Structure 1
Amino acid sequence: MVLAGGLLAGCGDSVEGHPIAVRGPVTPIVSAEGGLAKLLPDPSQFPTRYTALVLPADTAKQAADDVNGYLPGAQVDPSGCVPATPTAGPAVAVGTDDEARATLTVVLTRSDQPLSALRDQLGQCGTVRLGDSGLTSVVSTRLNPAPPANADDTLAFERTVAAPNDPTGSQRTMQTLIGQIGEVRITVSYMTSGSGKDGEGLDTLFTTALRKVRKG
């Protein structure tokens, strides 16, 4: 008896012919980004002033670290302010506004912690010093009222990252909205080295990102 491709025999059945290797794994392989890339907003869904793209996996981690403001491997003081490691991700889409020297970024991760744990941590980590290769930077964070949104939980904060010994006095400023739906954490952040803000663009993209994750 010859079996057509895709027909499976039961445990007690006898199948004639030669055994062949299974094409593909029996158990699906979960990639490092945990299937999150398909949940990102499409670049065309970014506000029109931003030129957007989905980042490849090898650069997504660096972009997520930039938005977070914490250098990987840096010494963190207080030590209790080290960000928790996600269980999967990140998947990242970023839009650039060259004129405003700003970016609008969506970062998706999976977390085994509720968003309230991050809120509690941020409440105790208003000022954090980072040390890396002899360089020091100061991360200052201020919690804002959580935005109403179609998510299990949300939070908002403003953050600046500055190097006290930098003679140029430059700093990065972030406005960030975070929502959690199940184990998927949605972070949308506006980051600039200038003085501008784009609250409307941030709110719009946050709503779009939440809707995309909800739809799956």
Structure 2
Amino acid sequence: MTPVSPPPRRLLPACWLSAAVLALAGCGAVLPGAPGSAEQTTIGAPVGAELAALVPAPDAFPAGYPAVVLPAEAAAQAAADLDGVGPGATVEPARCAPPPELAGPAVAVGTDEESRSSLTVELSRTDQPLARLRTRLAECANVRVLRAGAAATVVTDLLDEAPDAAPAPDDALALLRTVSPDRGGAALTQTMRTVIGQVGDVRITVTGMVFGGSEPEPGPVDELFATAVERVRAG
């Protein structure tokens, strides 16, 4: 989830994920698919290391995705865009708005220049177990997002299985998300395949994103997720 390069107008407000990312980069029940992890209803022991020290380095990205670690301001923008919402947006229904971050995330992003697809890993701190996110996603499968005079429909489908990772996270889930702007047609539609895991108070989010209605390949997403979980576990 191999698309064609989006037209230049993909950088307009309706296309929210994200000019900053592509410019900097190119430029309990046992959870299926995650042996040893269980649905997380409490937070584990905090991870002591700084997030910036735990985010996978560019040379740890899958082949074909030359990557950079984003500076703090761009990291915050990219993390917000991965929800399909973006900073300053209004979500309908309001209860489906993502909760605020506890602190600035650490983000690295790689871009396949040929397909113009991106691969992003985000590490953030949270005071909530992953079970709460799973519930919110299930209840907010279809939302409207309004931002800077533009509108989009965000559809999120929870997938049956999260990928294997060794060592395993405390909990993990996988989803497929489309962001369809009201204007611009299929060429501006973003499709994201995301795997989210948690180790203690660190939430690990890995997202593959393409434009144009196809789906990102799961392999690079799963590979980077396993790398990120291992790095956080080693803390």
Give the structure-1-normalised TM-score. 0.81
Distance in 1 (CA, whole Å) between partners of 2:103 and 2:186 is 37
Richer in helix (by share) = 2
Deviates more, 1:163-172 or 1:81-90: 163-172
In the alignment, is the contact (CA less than 8 A) between 1:91 and 1:108 conserved in 2?
A: yes
Give the length in aligned residue pairs.
183
Distance in 1 (CA, whole Å) between partners of 2:133 and 2:220 is 24
For 1:139, the equivalent position in structure 2 comes to 154
In the alignment, is the contact (CA less than 8 A) between 2:191 and 2:216 conserved in 1?
A: no
In the alignment, is the contact (CA less than 8 A) between 2:150 and 2:182 conserved in 1?
A: no
| Pairwise CA RMSD | 1.5
Q: Give identity over the alignment, percent.
A: 48
Distance in 2 (CA, whole Å) between partners of 1:202 and 1:136 is 28
Q: Using a 3 Å threshold, how does the CA distance of structure 1 residues 95 and 169 change in structure 2: closer, same or farther? A: closer
Distance in 1 (CA, whole Å) between partners of 2:186 and 2:95 is 30
The answer on 1:179 being equivalent to 2:194 is: no
User: Displacement of 1:196 after TM fit?
Assistant: 4.7
Moved over 3 A (4+): none
In the alignment, is the contact (CA less than 8 A) between 2:192 and 2:215 conserved in 1?
A: no
Unaligned runs of 5+ in 1: 1-33
For 1:59, the equivalent position in structure 2 comes to 74
Larger-Rg structure: 1
Distance in 1 (CA, whole Å) between partners of 2:101 and 2:148 is 25
In the alignment, is the contact (CA less than 8 A) between 1:190 and 1:202 conserved in 2?
A: yes
Aligned partner of 2:159: which letter? N
Q: What secondary structure sits across from 2:91 in the alignment?
A: strand
Q: 1:206 aligns with which of 211, 225, 228?
A: 225
In the alignment, is the contact (CA less than 8 A) between 2:119 and 2:208 conserved in 1?
A: yes
Distance in 2 (CA, whole Å) between partners of 1:167 and 1:46 is 31
Q: What secondary structure sits across from 1:88 in the alignment?
A: coil
Aligned partner of 1:53: which letter? V
